[in-house]
Amino acid sequence: MKILIVDDDSLDRKLLRRSLGVSEGSFHKITEVSSVTDGLEAINHQRFDVILLDYRMPEIDGIEMVIEMRSKPKLGGTAIVMISSAEDPKLALDCIEAGAQDFISKSDITQSKLDKAILHAKKRFEMEQKMHESYLTVKQMAEKDALTGLSNRYHFEETLKVTIDNGKRLESSVALLALDLDDFKNVNDTLGHEAGDEVLKEVVKRVSKCLRSNEGFARIGGDEFAIILSGIESINVVNVIAKRISDTFEESFVLNGKEVHCGVSIGAALSPLDACGAQELLKCADIAMYRAKQAGKSKVCFYEARYQEEFNRRFSIQNDIANILKHSSFKLFFQPVCSTSNRDIISFEALIRWPNNDNNYPPSEFIPIAEESGVINELGRWIIKTAIEQLREWKRLKSELTISINISPVQLLHADLADYLDKVCELASIPSHDVILEITETALFKDNDKISIMLQQLSLRGFKIALDDFGMGYSSVSHLVNYPINIVKLDKSLQSTEPNDGKRKEIFAALSLMLKRLNFTVIAEGVETEAQLKICEELDVDRVQGYLLGKPSAPEYIDSLLKSDVLDCMDAG
Ligand code: C2E
Ligand code: MG
Ligand code: MG
């Protein structure tokens, strides 16, 4: 065993050497020094198994050597037995607390006691080291993301707090970038989670190359990353770094020989400009990132105060939707769809209305929010059930009526939509062919196999499919061919509003002729004037819908309308 004796008293050193029961060259290899300075010098150059360290020395006390060693891991790899002339339990405790493993008083020293103290100290030291190693592993696990080796969210937030505080002290700005991969779910869904993991690792490699160090780079969620940039002198610097990061995503990722494109949306916020606290800054960067996504993805967006208002509005709408749904207090309005030739009501389109008069949000605002949060599935079910039950009531007054229900693309992705529609129709004794499901082209542009299969299923079960708002977006003819569409609704933007609106008139005429030729039932939306209705008649458009024929109205109003129709018929009869 290699033993270092640190004691200023040569007699005491001799006593120790004797008590170790050895002389020069025997089993123990002993080095002697007479001061803490020499002791530190000795352990700097060679490793010892144990140090026998005198507590009291003239210049520097032994306990200070313990403290010095334990504060420097490089010096620390040795067990220490403190030796003192005083027999003081408090002193012993101080030495142990400072990092020594055992304590023995000089008056107590015998060969066997010293041997025992050395062995105990060695064992105890080994155990302490093992505990320290497991502590480090646990700490690493708690702070690091296992897949990428970056900091995790918890550690990141701590680092952000410290960096912001330092920034305040140094009066310099801190920037926070929030990164979210675009359509990463698609990679996972189509290529599997292992491929997804590879993309995440490659992302870390690419982004790291754009940064000075990985210190403030963390993975804070599945496909979410955050970066702290400290000592920022101008927004331009942040912009340059963010753009550089964004550019590295232009190159596609190659996974098992397959090329996958995956972009990134980046939100940036600055402290103290946008927020002073870590949580607030994270929120601002998140809001900016969300804007970047909304602006069409693969974008960099800096936080602006007005985003907060928009975000709050969206957030409160999202919360309100859930609450209103809980109390089933949304309203469904119904708008008549009439035969063009005799204006007879053939059908009603169900249109959702916000119930609260203080905040009259239009469906064009709250439906996309419901889609994004996923609550549209529940809301959609309520709409389906309410509309079909309403049709049952009205069929008592007019048996040939049908109902049109708008279905969001998100609902089409829900596998049990067809079963749910079947169940509601069965309970209400409504045949499926009396239910028209209105979908928009955006659903078809997703070109998702699931949507195609769902539409086929719905069509096979007898539901009619209407393509809504045709002529407003892409109006792809291939959609008309590839999907089981029965009805096409020509968007209201195709209606001419002025007499010499020649081009629009021609487009409307050409589209309706083409659709008639392809045997679709054609409905013109947004018919507001007699002149527009006349054009529809001339073009033999099947059905018309619009303010001229009737505005979307509460069911009570439609009730009285249908009842008065019945009475009129009876009178005429
Ligand atoms: P949409 O399905 O194309 O519905 C027709 C929209 O045009 C309705 O707006 C209706 O009020 C409006 N409209 C009807 N006639 C006229 C007219 O003569 N002139 C003008 N200028 N507008 C007319 P609304 O109710 O605000 O709904 C807007 C959109 O929100 C709907 O367009 C539909 O995409 C969506 N939406 C409405 N209700 C629901 C629903 O229950 N579920 C789903 N998923 N979406 C819905
Ligand atoms: Mg519609
Ligand atoms: Mg429409």
**Residue boundaries of the structural domains of the chain:** 2-142, 153-303, 329-490+549-572
Tokens 């025992």 correspond to 116
Ligand nearest to the CA of 334: 1
Ligand 3 center to 439 CA (angstroms): 9
Quick one: what percent of the chain has pLDDT higher than 70?
Answer: 98
Q: CA torsion 44→33→69→110, rounded to 10°?
A: 130
Q: Give Cα 359 to chain centroid, integer Å.
A: 28
Helices marked H in 374-493 = 376-395, 409-412, 417-428, 441-445, 449-460, 477-482
- How does pLDDT run across 112-125, given as a tens digit for each residue? 888 888 988 999 98
The 3 state secondary structure assigned to 38-74 is HHHHHHHHCCCCEEEEECCCCCCCHHHHHHHHHHCCC
Q: Taking a C-beta distance cutoff of 8 angstroms, is the pair 266, 285 a contact?
A: no
Task: Give the distance (Å) from ligand 3 centre to CA of residue 525.
Answer: 6
| 499-553 pLDDT per residue, tens | 777 888 999 999 999 999 999 999 999 999 999 999 999 999 999 999 999 999 9
Per-residue pLDDT at 191 exceeds 80: yes
Flag whether pLDDT at 23 surpasses 50: no
Q: How far is the CA of 351 from the centre of ligand 1 (A)?
A: 6
Name the residue with the closest Cα to ligand 1, atom 43: 406
The chain-wide mean pLDDT, for the chain, equals 90
Query: Mean per-residue pLDDT for 327-340?
Result: 95
CA of 169 to the centre of ligand 3 (A): 58
What is the spatial distance between Cα 131 and Cα 109, in angstroms, rounded to a whole number?
Answer: 30
Atom of ligand 1 minimally distant from the CA of 491? 3
Among the residues of 105-234, which ranges form H helices? Answer: 111-143, 153-170, 184-191, 193-209
Residue 340 contacts residue 541 (beta carbons within 8 Å): yes
Nearest atom in ligand 1 to the alpha carbon of residue 527 is 18
Say which amino acid occupies 339: S
Q: What do you get for the CA distance between the two ends of the chain, in Å?
A: 119
Residues 450-497 pLDDT 10s: 899 999 999 999 999 999 999 887 778 888 988 999 999 999 999 988
Nearest to 314 by CA among 253, 348, 247, 361: 361
Q: One of 223, 468, 469, 491 is an active-site residue; which one?
A: 223
Residue nearest to atom 14 of ligand 1 (CA): 546
Counting ligands in written order, which one lies closest to the CA of residue 352? 1
Question: Tens digits of per-residue pLDDT, 427-461?
Answer: 999 999 999 999 998 877 765 788 999 999 999 99
- Which one, of 324, 338, 299, lies nearest residue 523 by Cα? 338
User: Coil, strand, or helix at residue 241?
Assistant: helix
Q: Tens digits of per-residue pLDDT, 68-104?
A: 888 876 666 799 999 988 777 888 888 888 889 999 9
Q: Give ∠ CA 506-508-511 in degrees, rounded to 5.
A: 105
Question: What's domain 2-142's architecture?
Answer: 3-Layer(aba) Sandwich (3.40)
Sign of the alpha-carbon torsion through 181, 187, 188, 193: negative
Q: Report, as an integer, the average pLDDT of 266-271.
A: 96
Q: Which ligand 1 atom is nearest residue 363's CA?
A: 30
* Residue from 513, 459, 359 nearest 467 by CA: 459
High-pLDDT (> 90) share of the chain, %: 61
**Other Cβ atoms closer than 10 A to 418:** 21
Query: Ligand 3 centre and the CA of 137: distance in Å?
Result: 59
Determine the average pLDDT of the residues in 413-426: 96
Determine contact, residues 252/261, Cβ cutoff 8 Å. Answer: yes
Predicted confidence at residue 259, as pLDDT, reads 87
CATH architecture of 153-303: 2-Layer Sandwich (3.30)
What is the dotted CATH code of the domain comprising 329-490+549-572?
Answer: 3.20.20.450
Question: Is the pLDDT reported for residue 187 higher than 80?
Answer: yes
Helix (H), strand (E) at residue 361? none
Higher pLDDT: 499 or 54? It is 54
Closest CA to 442 of 463, 421, 467, 466: 467
**pLDDT at 357 > cutoff 80:** no
pLDDT of residue 501: 78
d(CA 248, CA 177): 15
Greatest mean pLDDT among 61-75, 300-314, 396-410: 396-410
223 is an active site residue: yes
Handedness of CA 221, 223, 228, 232 (dihedral sign): negative
Dihedrals phi, psi of 214, to nearest 5 degrees: -90, 10
CB atoms within 10 A of CB 482: 13
- pLDDT on residue 569: 74
Least-confidence region, from 41-55, 68-82, 319-333: 68-82
The pocket around ligand 1, CB under 6 angstroms, is made up of 335, 350-352, 362-364, 367, 383, 406, 408, 438, 468-469, 492, 526, 528, 546-547, 552
Alpha carbon nearest to ligand 1 atom 29, residue: 364
CA-to-CA distance for 385 and 394, rounded, in angstroms?
14
| Closest residue by CA, ligand 1 atom 7 | 526
Contacts of 57 (CB under 8 A, 6+ apart): 6, 7, 8, 35, 36
The pLDDT-based confidence of 240 (bands split at 50, 70, 90) is: very high
Query: Which ligand has the nearest atom to the CA of 545?
Result: 1
